[in-house]
C-alpha cells in the first residue's frame, strides 16, 4: 500500500478479532510514530504500550468513548514530555503527528486502529496518569486502540473544495 492509498483509505476501526499483534509489528508502529516530524527535531514524546487486559479494560471507567479497548489487542499511549521541548508549545503538535503516523502505519500493516483523545480532558489525563503511573509533568495526549479489524468500513471522500482558499481568504459563494 502506498502512502496516498493509506491516507485515503484509513478509517477509525472499533471492532477487532481476537488475533494478537506481534512484538515486531508493535516495534514497527513505534518506529513510525518516532519518525514523525517535530519542531527543532526535539522529539518530545514517550510511548506506553499497553497489552495487559486488566489495564485496557479499566480505561472506559474514565474515558466514555473507549469501550473498543475491551476487544483491542493493545493500545499505545502517546505522551508529551515538556522538559524535552526546545521550542515551547510545539510538543502537542509533535505528538499529534506521531499519533497520525501510528494510525497510518497500523492501516498499512493490515491493522485497525482508532485515535482516542486524552488531552485536554482533565479526567482522561488524570485517569491515564493514575492507571499507568505517569509522572505529573508528562502529558498524556492520545491513546491509539489497535487490533486486527473485525469490520469493513467503506472509503469516504472528505474533500470539501469550499474550504480551500487561493492566495487569500475568500467567502464561499453559495
Q: Mean pLDDT in each 10-residue stretch from start to end of the chain (174 residues)?
A: 93 97 98 97 98 98 98 98 93 98 98 98 98 98 98 90 92 67
Place of cell 499497553: 50
The answer to whether residue 170 sits within a structural domain is no
The answer to whether residue 132 sits within a structural domain is yes
Query: 50: domain CATH number?
Result: 3.40.109.10
The answer to whether residue 82 sits within a structural domain is yes
The answer to whether residue 174 sits within a structural domain is no
The answer to whether residue 168 sits within a structural domain is no
Range of the domain at 146: 3-163
The Cα 77–Cα 143 span in angstroms is 4
* Among 37, 25, 20, 48, CA closest to 106: 25
The Cα 22–Cα 113 span in angstroms is 15
Structure-block grid coordinates of residue 55: 489495564
The answer to whether residue 172 sits within a structural domain is no
Instruction: Kindly report whether the peptide bond that precedes residue 120 is cis, defined as omega within 30 degrees of 0.
Output: yes
Number of domains in the chain: 1
Amino acid at each position: 500500500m502506498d502512502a496516498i492509498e493509506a491516507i485515503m483509505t484509513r478509517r477509525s476501526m472499533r471492532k477487532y478479532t481476537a488475533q494478537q499483534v506481534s512484538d515486531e509489528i508493535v516495534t514497527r508502529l513505534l518506529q513510525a510514530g518516532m519518525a514523525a516530524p517535530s519542531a527543532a527535531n526535539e522529539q518530545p514524546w514517550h510511548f506506553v504500550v499497553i497489552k495487559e487486559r486488566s489495564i485496557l479494560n479499566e480505561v472506559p471507567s474514565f474515558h466514555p468513548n473507549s469501550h473498543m479497548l475491551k476487544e483491542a489487542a493493545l493500545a499505545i499511549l502517546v505522551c508529551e514530555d515538556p522538559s524535552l521541548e526546545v521550542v515551547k508549545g510545539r510538543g502537542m503538535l509533535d505528538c499529534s503527528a506521531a499519533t497520525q503516523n501510528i494510525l497510518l502505519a497500523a492501516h498499512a500493516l493490515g491493522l485497525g486502529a482508532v485515535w482516542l483523545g486524552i488531552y485536554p480532558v482533565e479526567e482522561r489525563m488524570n485517569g491515564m496518569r493514575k492507571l499507568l503511573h505517569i509522572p505529573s509533568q508528562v502529558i498524556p495526549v492520545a491513546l491509539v486502540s489497535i487490533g486486527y479489524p473485525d469490520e469493513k468500513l467503506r472509503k469516504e471522500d472528505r474533500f470539501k473544495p469550499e474550504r480551500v482558499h487561493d492566495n487569500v481568504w475568500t467567502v464561499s459563494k453559495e
